[in-house]
Amino acid sequence: MAEDVHELSALYALDALTGPDRERFEQHLDECDDCRSRLRSFREAGTALAFAVEGPPPPEALRGRILAAARAEPQNVVPIRPRRSLATSIAAAVAVAATAAAVGLGVWSATLHRSLDRERTATRVLANPASRHLRIPSRTGELVVAPSGEAVLALALPKPPRGKTYEAWVADPSVRRAGEFDGRTLTLTERVRPGARVMVTVERSGGVDAPTQQPLLAVQV
């Protein structure tokens, strides 16, 4: 069974695992350096394929139809074989990613563009010598705010409980959602103006429209 868990990396990278299989693999991933390395390789392969061709964003339901079709034909996704080499697993993941890209490239492209945009913004904010670095009281981390108001939270919070997520908020004075994250680094989706207050709460997965808990941390700009 341990070998079977290792072979789920490609499906997890494509978000094609659900239910008990997904939970079992996520628990295993916390303890397995090899699977984390494989996962990075699979996602890099999917990224390269997704940007190979441009296309318009598809309907929201397209992604679900793609994954449903993939699950209906498991023999065409990633066959489970004992002691598969890393090179073979990566090749299988590339084949799966190529199939998904050919059917629904717009889904992958749109998601990856958003991710890259956030990464570029974070790099720009952190590299700007004019950005303000504000320490988080009683926490390891800081809020970095550029003169433009673009901001990045860099923290070291423990992994949120199952079914929960960290959610950031900007209050100036109205409270606005500024993104969900896993407790590490977040590029805020809202600009942070002088005098604003940035907060983080623990909310249900998927986020909420307004805080339901007391702030876990807060910093005044």
Tell me which amino acid residue 130 is.
A
Average pLDDT over residues 108-125: 67
Structure-block tokens of residue 53: 């061709």
Identify whether the C-beta of residue 172 lies closer than 8 Å to the C-beta of residue 188.
no
In a 3-state reduction of DSSP, which class is residue 174?
coil
pLDDT surpassing 90 at residue 100: no
What distance lies between CA 184 and its chain's CA centroid? 11
Q: For the chain, which residues make up each domain, given as ranges? A: 2-126, 132-220
Q: Is 27 left (phi over 0), alpha (psi -120 to 50) or beta?
A: alpha
- Reduce the secondary structure of 7-34 to three states and give it as a string: CCHHHHHCCCCCHHHHHHHHHHHCCCHH
Q: How far apart are the C-alpha atoms of 76 and 70, rounded to whole Å?
A: 8
The per-residue pLDDT for range 129-186, each reduced to its tens digit, is 899 999 988 777 899 999 999 999 988 899 999 999 999 999 998 999 999 999 988 9
Alpha helix locations (H) across the chain?
2-6, 9-13, 19-29, 33-50, 61-72, 86-127
pLDDT of residue 218: 94
Position 3 scores a pLDDT of 45
According to CATH, the topology of domain 132-220 is Immunoglobulin-like (2.60.40)
Which residues in 89-106 are b (16+ Cβ under 10 Å) and which e? bbebbbebbebbbeebbb
CB atoms within 10 A of CB 117: 11
Tens-digit pLDDT profile for residues 43-91: 555 554 444 444 455 555 655 665 666 556 555 444 444 444 555 555 5
